[in-house]
């Protein structure tokens, strides 16, 4: 294609933002050009990229991790800095092409070159005009993206564009709950943003006996109850550990999901989890956290990070979209704000205030 398209570029820590006119690239083998119809902002990773805490996703996909960002920003009070390897990530993380949660329509393919070692996949049958979600998306806050064909996921017809653009964060909690929770478990969810509220729905659908959610914002707690939480706790006025102790008669929870990415909630994980229980870190904070590791040892806790389906993210995304399309999972209540590309700074300013569950960008 000839001409240019617009995309949002974060120039450095704290900004500024630039809406850049970018020439359409020549597509390589295995690539597809996707016209974006809907994209959403991650209130944790994207906001922390603006703050200079979390690696931008275009660099994270290339191997950058939070300690690399601490080195880049010359953080002097990092208690873990003596543990870092000598060779750190050596590319400059800004300017960053922002946006990793998106859905769109295929408009072009690169040349078809068979790979000698890969088996045929459903993606081989995709055609121009298909609606797709994009895994490993770089530049979702833009009118078009170049995507790897093997990372495209078909969107069911019953889903709207803005619902489809939410599939990636919903998949994050889907696979975490699927891998850790059993029917009849007592679960606790820390954080009532998009991740925490989606975890409430997956836990309810998966047969949790009791669902406890901790969240300081009142309207998010109310929404959690509507979506299936049995108990809600306000951590700004209540002691979360003490409240969970009362609810579980001192036993603790079978599984605890940390969905806020905040040091104060992360350090509570081993105190909320019962002996032989499981702690899942879903929230992406990006900062060093002091944790009572001996308690993890003595309670014999299982400790995991979020992961996409044992190396099969496409299966994870496909199942998530199918559940969304069937009505088992309702994403609509999580979409609280709508924006256009020119409003990107306004969107992040509102997220910083804590008023947003999920902000969705739509493109004409």
pLDDT, residue 80, reads 84
CATH number of 169-309: 3.40.50.720
pLDDT, residue 100, reads 95
Residues forming beta bridges with residue 230, ordered by sequence position: none
pLDDT, residue 74, reads 82
pLDDT, residue 285, reads 84
In tens digits, the chain (364 residues) has pLDDT values of: 889 999 999 999 999 999 999 999 999 999 999 999 999 999 999 999 999 999 999 999 899 999 999 889 887 678 888 888 888 899 999 999 999 999 999 999 999 877 777 777 888 889 999 999 999 999 999 999 999 999 999 999 999 999 999 999 999 999 999 999 999 999 999 999 999 999 999 999 999 999 999 999 999 999 999 999 999 999 999 999 999 999 999 999 999 999 999 999 999 999 999 999 999 999 988 888 889 999 999 999 999 887 664 457 888 899 999 999 999 999 999 999 999 999 999 999 999 998 899 999 999 7
Name the segment(s) of the chain with CATH classification 3.90.180.10: 4-166+335-362
Strand segments (E) across the chain: 4-10, 17-23, 31-40, 96-97, 101-109, 131-134, 144-148, 152-154, 186-190, 210-214, 231-233, 253-258, 273-281, 302-305, 337-339, 359-362
pTM: 0.93
DSSP 164-196: HTTHHHHHHHHHHHHHH--TT-EEEEE--SHHH
Q: What is the DSSP letter of 307?
A: -
pLDDT, residue 294, reads 94
Give the fold, CATH level 3, of 4-166+335-362: Quinone Oxidoreductase; Chain A, domain 1 (3.90.180)
Which two three-digit tokens encode residue 343? 């409003």
Strands 273-281 and 253-258, sheet pairing = parallel
Note the pLDDT tens digit of each residue in 37-53: 999 999 999 999 999 99
What's the number of CA atoms in the CB half-sphere (13 Å) around residue 14? 1
Element at 217 (helix H, strand E): none
Which two three-digit tokens encode residue 333? 């209540």
Question: What is the 3-state composition of the chain as percent helix, strand, coil, each rounded to the nearest 5?
Answer: 35, 25, 45
Judged by DSSP in three states, 103 sits in strand
């Amino acid at each position: 294609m000839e001409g240019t398209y617009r995309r949002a570029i974060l120039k450095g820590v704290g900004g500024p933002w630039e809406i850049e006119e970018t020439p359409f690239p020549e597509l390589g083998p295995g690539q597809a050009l996707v016209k974006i119809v809907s994209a959403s902002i991650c209130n944790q990773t994207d906001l922390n990229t603006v703050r200079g805490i979390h690696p931008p996703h275009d660099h994270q996909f290339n191997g950058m991790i939070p300690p690399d960002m601490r080195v880049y920003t010359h953080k002097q009070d990092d208690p873990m800095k003596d543990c870092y390897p000598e060779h750190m990530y050596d590319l400059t993380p800004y300017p960053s092409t922002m946006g990793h949660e998106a859905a769109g329509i295929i408009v072009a393919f690169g040349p078809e070159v068979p790979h000698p070692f890969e088996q045929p996949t459903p993606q081989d049958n995709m055609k121009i005009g298909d609606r797709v979600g994009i895994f490993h998306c770089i530049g979702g806050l833009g009118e078009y993206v170049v995507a790897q064909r093997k990372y495209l996921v078909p969107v069911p017809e019953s889903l709207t564009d803005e619902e489809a653009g939410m599939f990636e964060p919903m998949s994050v909690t889907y696979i975490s709950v699927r891998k850790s929770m059993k029917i009849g478990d007592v679960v606790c969810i820390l954080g009532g943003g998009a991740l925490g509220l989606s975890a409430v729905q997956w836990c309810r659908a998966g047969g949790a006996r009791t669902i406890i959610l901790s969240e300081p914002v009142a309207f998010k707690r109310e929404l959690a109850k509507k979506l299936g939480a049995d108990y809600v706790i306000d951590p700004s006025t209540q002691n979360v550990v003490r409240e969970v102790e009362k609810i579980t008669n001192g036993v603790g929870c079978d599984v605890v999901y940390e969905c806020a990415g905040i040091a104060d909630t992360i350090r509570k994980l081993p105190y909320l989890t019962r002996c032989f229980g499981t702690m899942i870190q879903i929230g992406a904070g990006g900062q060093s956290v002091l944790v009572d590791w001996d308690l993890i040892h003595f309670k014999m806790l299982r400790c995991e990070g979020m992961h996409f389906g044992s190396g099969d993210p496409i299966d994870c995304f496909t199942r998530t979209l199918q559940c969304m399309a069937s009505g088992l999972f309702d994403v609509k209540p999580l979409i609280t704000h709508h924006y256009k590309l020119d409003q990107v700074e306004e969107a992040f300013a509102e997220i910083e205030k804590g008023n947003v569950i999920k902000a969705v960008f739509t493109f004409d």
